[in-house]
């Protein structure tokens, strides 16, 4: 019942917001062009001839503020402007004796009030002046380690100049057909980034299908996610800020709040308790398989110096699943909150998750059984190893359902993030 109420509320907000935007655009354009009906109304009310142009510019600016992500305070000011303009219009019609024309302002005032109430209800009302933020008791910032060392990993800012033809890159032998890549798909738009490059950068940001995305990857625990980096109508920019619970932790440039790179939850700072929208879990394929989807697909290639290229080779040669055993890098284990000895710390496995439900499937068990059928959230999931890549993947038995959120990662990274998770 709660979910249905939330969806209906969001739908009502979108309807009222759309009506407001269309009204503001049509009214603004009509006022600037000097439409005959607009001029007649202004003359009846006794306003000066230049008034429509001032009103038209204000309406168009307000429409743009409603359409694009901006600071919350600007949206509040715009709503106030709408209330003021419509209220003045209503009063003006009454005093001018034009009772029959006073009805439309009442309708738009009602729509604006409903729209503002629904928007106001879904936002933090502090407006950035005096935030009241929830506390996450489990967050212990004193455990964050390697703060300075990880700063060498600069976020990959993906722009159009970084997108090259995958077909051409393979033809020039700059990317091998069996090289593992992350597929970044939002709607019908799709690009790829090599695991090699993401393992060095840890974070990659860009804009795909008009969605500002963030893809995360911790090459030690082998985990990450694809997020929408819009929070409270603001597009955030992220950087790696240290190691926490044995995995990468990140901060946003705008407020320096700490964010979990797997769940997208803000652990500490201004946005504490907020969560980035999860677009998808990592979809790993080979370059050749990605090319089979579309021969025009593009790959994001960072423009690195010779020194940084050396670091990418060093990074990929010493981490990830190529070195499944061995000691942790200095500082990693110091950041653990606890130890869970149910499985070996660095054991690889497939983690399946949905909100607060999480389950771990050991890699060796999957290889032994070849195909696992299990129940998860009342649905049958099938887990087996991708023969081409050698990594496990899960899908619902019902092909009509989307792939479950999944991570191929080390045990310690999964259990530190999802404490008391189940084990297959």
pLDDT digits (tens, 9 = 90+) for 135-154: 455 788 889 988 877 777 88
d(CA 119, CA 74): 13
pLDDT digits (tens, 9 = 90+) for 186-238: 888 889 998 888 888 899 999 998 899 999 998 888 888 999 999 988 899 99
What b/e readout covers 298-329, taking b as 16+ CB neighbours within 10 angstroms? bbbbbebeeeeeeebeebbeebbeeeeeeebe
Q: Residue 383: what pLDDT? A: 93
Q: What does the pLDDT average to over 120-128?
A: 51
Residue 321 domain-assigned (yes or no): yes
In Å, what is the CA distance from 149 to each residue of 241, 243, 253, 313, 413?
9, 10, 18, 17, 20
Based on the fold, state whether residues 153 and 246 are members of the same structural domain: yes
Identify the pLDDT of residue 186. Answer: 87
Strand spans (E) along 195-303: 203-208, 211-216, 225-228, 230-231, 234-235, 238-244, 247-252, 258-260, 266-268, 277-281, 283-286, 298-300
- Asked whether residue 41 carries a pLDDT value surpassing 60, the answer given is yes
Same domain, 330 and 349: no
405 in the same domain as 262: no
Percent of the chain exceeding pLDDT 70 equals 86
Q: Which helix (H) or strand (E) holds 364?
A: helix 363-369
| Same-domain pairing of 327 and 295 | yes
The answer on pLDDT for 157 being more than 80 is yes
342 closest CA partner among 420, 244, 247: 420
For the chain, what is the domain count? 3
The reply to whether 163 falls in a domain is yes
- Are 301 and 256 part of one and the same domain? yes
Percent of the chain that is helix, strand, coil (3-state, to 5): 40, 25, 35
Task: Tell whether 284 and 344 lie within a shared domain.
Answer: no
189 plus 72 within the same structural domain: no
In this structure, the answer to whether residues 157 and 113 fall within a common structural domain is: no
pLDDT of residue 355: 67
Q: Select the more confidently predicted residue: 200 or 171.
A: 171
Q: Do the domain assignments include residue 161?
A: yes
Average pLDDT, the chain: 82
pLDDT at residue 4, rounded to an integer: 36
- Mean pLDDT, residues 168-193: 88
Distance (Å, whole) CA 382 – CA 256: 40
pTM of the prediction? 0.68
Helix (H) or strand (E) holding 379, with range, is strand 379-386
* Same domain? 291 vs 156: yes
The percentage of residues in the chain with a pLDDT greater than 90, rounded to a whole number, is: 25
Q: Are 246 and 328 in contact (CB under 8 A)?
A: yes
Q: Is residue 397 situated within a structural domain?
A: yes
Q: Are 249 and 397 contained in the same domain? A: no
Dist CA 133 CA 130 (whole Å): 10
The reply to whether 92 and 117 lie within a common domain is yes
């Amino acid at each position: 019942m709660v979910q249905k109420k939330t969806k209906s509320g969001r739908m009502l907000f979108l309807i009222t917001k759309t009506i407001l935007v269309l009204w503001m655009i049509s009214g603004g354009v009509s006022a600037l062009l000097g439409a005959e009906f607009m001029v007649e109304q202004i003359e009846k009310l006794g306003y000066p001839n230049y008034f429509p142009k001032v009103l038209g510019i204000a309406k168009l600016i307000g429409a743009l503020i409603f359409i694009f992500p901006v600071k919350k305070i600007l949206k509040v000011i715009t709503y106030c402007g709408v209330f003021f303009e419509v209220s003045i219009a209503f009063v003006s019609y009454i005093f001018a004796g034009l009772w029959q024309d006073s009805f439309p302002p009442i309708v738009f005032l009602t729509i604006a009030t409903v729209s503002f109430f629904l928007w106001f209800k879904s936002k933090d009302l502090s407006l950035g002046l005096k935030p009241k933020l929830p506390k996450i008791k489990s967050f212990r910032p004193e455990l964050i380690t390697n703060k300075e060392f990880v700063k060498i990993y600069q976020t990959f800012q993906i722009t159009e100049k970084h997108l090259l033809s995958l077909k051409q890159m393979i033809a020039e032998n700059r990317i091998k057909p069996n090289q593992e890549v992350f597929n970044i798909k939002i709607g019908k738009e799709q690009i790829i980034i090599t695991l090699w490059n993401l393992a060095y950068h840890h974070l990659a940001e860009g804009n795909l299908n008009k969605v500002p995305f963030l893809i995360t990857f911790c090459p030690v625990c082998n985990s990450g996610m694809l997020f929408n980096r819009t929070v409270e109508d603001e597009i955030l920019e992220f950087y790696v800020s240290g190691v926490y619970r044995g995995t990468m932790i990140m901060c946003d440039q705008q407020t320096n709040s700490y964010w979990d790179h797997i769940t997208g939850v803000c652990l500490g700072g201004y946005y504490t308790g907020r969560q980035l929208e999860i677009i998808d879990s990592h979809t790993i394929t080979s370059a050749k398989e990605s090319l089979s989807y579309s021969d025009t697909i593009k790959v994001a290639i960072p423009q690195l110096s010779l020194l940084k290229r050396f670091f990418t080779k060093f990074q990929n040669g010493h981490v990830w699943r190529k070195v499944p055993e061995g000691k942790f890098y200095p500082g990693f284990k110091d950041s653990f909150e606890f130890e869970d000895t149910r499985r070996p710390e660095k054991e690889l496995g497939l983690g399946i998750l949905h909100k607060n439900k999480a389950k771990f499937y050991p890699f060796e068990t999957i290889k032994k059984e070849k195909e696992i059928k299990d129940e998860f959230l009342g649905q049958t999931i099938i887990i087996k190893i991708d023969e081409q890549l050698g990594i496990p993947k899960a899908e619902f038995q019902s092909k009509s359902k989307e792939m479950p959120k999944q991570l191929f990662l080390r045990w310690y990274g999964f259990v530190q993030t999802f404490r008391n998770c189940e084990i297959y």
